[in-house]
Amino acid sequence: MEKKEVKSILISQPAPADLEKSQYKILIDKYGVQLTFEKFFNVVGIPNKEFRTKRISILDYTAVILTSKLAVDNYFRMAKELRLKIPETMKYFCVTETVANYLQNYIQYRKRKIFFGKVSFKELMDIISRHKEEKYIFPCAEDATIDNFQMLEKAKVIFKKAVMYRSEPKDLKNIDISKFDMVAVFTPIGAKSFVKSFPSIKDKDIVFAAFGATTQKALKNARMKVLVPAPSTKCPSLVMAIESYLSLKPSDFTKYVEDLEAEAIAIAARKREEALKAAAKAKRDIARAKAAQKAKEEQQAKAKDA
């Protein structure tokens, strides 16, 4: 296997508002690649009738977690369709300041309690952890990653996952895919759209970059090898992973692939170990619960005999 030269990249996301200030600028300036942005899926709101079947009462919660502008739009859309008035006491926990500022489209920003992180959900968790007395509602997509929910559960935060929108595959056949050397995919639904639109494309024709384990798995299931995965130990973002690939010398490519495979094996082993630990913990929790129930029943029996 040889390193494929990359001059043109298809990015499965909308173009940034200001490309000059975006993370993609380094790829253009340093490596001279041409970038084309095209969203690979459509987002549609869950009908309020379907939402009602989940028996989630928005006003039962004192705070809302917002990870995107889409989450903001659909949270307030759902409240409006259900004819609910969001109280001024509601607290808003946003993943970034950009999302927090977007709230101004719906509320008087200066009069509300709004908190936000810098970039990642992990940073927002530091803030949420200091407000464990709140009951959180988490508006999200149907295919939302479970990582954020797991962090909340681990921190013992009281929250409710509220699916308010979903992604649908988009027909991409209008794209001349032969113009691109690399395709960067960010979501499993994006991978599904690509595979459905270009069933004859093989990984020998295009270098695939993919963000997230589920996205990588979706491409792998379609027999497309991901040569540029993220996040990884060295590259937490997909742009960093793409830059790492572009900077490779042809002579270093074999080692690059070997390192990718070694890390994939290590990650799989770590996940198996975590799964075994979780199963063992669940087993211990069940045993403790049974023992507590038995002790309670014995105590009640003694009290009855007395």
Contact 226, 210 (CB under 8 A): yes
| Cβ contact 64:91 at 8 Å | yes
pLDDT in single tens digits along all 306 residues of the chain: 789 999 999 999 989 888 888 889 999 999 999 999 999 999 899 999 999 999 999 999 999 999 999 999 999 999 999 999 999 999 999 998 989 999 999 988 776 699 998 878 888 999 999 999 999 999 999 878 788 999 999 999 999 999 999 989 999 999 999 999 999 999 889 999 999 999 988 877 899 999 988 899 999 999 999 999 998 888 888 999 999 999 999 999 999 988 888 887 887 788 888 888 888 888 898 988 888 888 888 888 888 776
- What DSSP letter does each residue of 33-47 carry, written as one string? -EEEE---EEEEEPP
Please state the length of the chain. Answer: 306
> Per the structure block, which two tokens stand in for 286?
């069940």
The pLDDT value recorded for residue 186 is: 92
Alpha-carbon span 289 to 298, nearest angstrom:
14
Where b means 16+ CB within 10 Å and e means fewer, 27-62 reads beeeeebebeebbbbeeebbeeeebeeeebebeebb
Provide the β-strand partners of residue 41: 169
8-40+170-248 CATH:
3.40.50.10090
Cβ(189)–Cβ(143) under 8 Å? yes
The strand pair at 159-169 and 34-37 is best described as unpaired
Cis peptide before 231 (omega within 30 of 0): yes
**Whole-number Å distance between alpha carbons of 38 and 290:** 54
- Contact between 212 and 37 under an 8 Å Cβ cutoff? The reply is no
Residue 112 confidence (pLDDT): 67
Residue spans of the domains in the chain: they are 8-40+170-248, 43-168, 252-306
Q: What pLDDT score does 158 carry?
A: 95
Angstrom distances, CA of residue 18 to CA of 21, 25, 43, 150, 186: 6, 10, 22, 33, 20
**CATH tag for 43-168 (out of 3.10.150.10, 3.55.10.10, 3.40.50.10090, 1.10.3720.10):** 3.40.50.10090
Sequence-separated (6 or more) residues with CB below 8 Å from residue 253: 1, 2, 3
- Please provide the distance, in angstroms rounded to a whole number, between the alpha carbons at the two ends of the chain: 81
* Closest to 105 measured CA to CA, from 81, 71, 137: 71
How far, in Å, CA of 150 to CA of 173, rounded?
37
Q: Which two tokens stand for residue 288?
A: 């403790």
